[in-house]
Amino acid sequence: MKGLSYLSKLNPKECFYYEEPQNNANLTKHSFTFDIKRPFLLVNIGSGISILHVESETNYRRITGTRLVE
């Protein structure tokens, strides 16, 4: 989380979300800032996938994930 928070401050457009992702006619992309007002899920894709439940920069937990390589 600390690295992601640093990255978002270094390049604010790196992290984003879509408002109403199921509505293709009104698909709007927004930059995501870490002024956390409510919990969210963070999906990280690297050599595997991790899904984190984030409540704050210091309060988060890994929910699930996979490994793609051994």
Write down the pLDDT at residue 29: 85
The answer to whether the beta carbons of residues 19 and 30 sit under 8 Å apart is: yes
Q: What is the mean pLDDT of residues 35-52?
A: 84
- Collapsed DSSP state (helix, strand, coil) of residue 25: helix
What is the enclosing helix (H) or strand (E) of 5?
Answer: helix 2-10
Distances (CA, A) of 28 to 7, 13, 39: 22, 14, 21
Q: What is the pLDDT of residues 9-40, one digit of tens each?
A: 888 778 888 887 788 887 888 887 777 678 88
Is the pLDDT score of 41 beyond 70?
yes
Domain residue spans in the chain?
1-34, 36-70
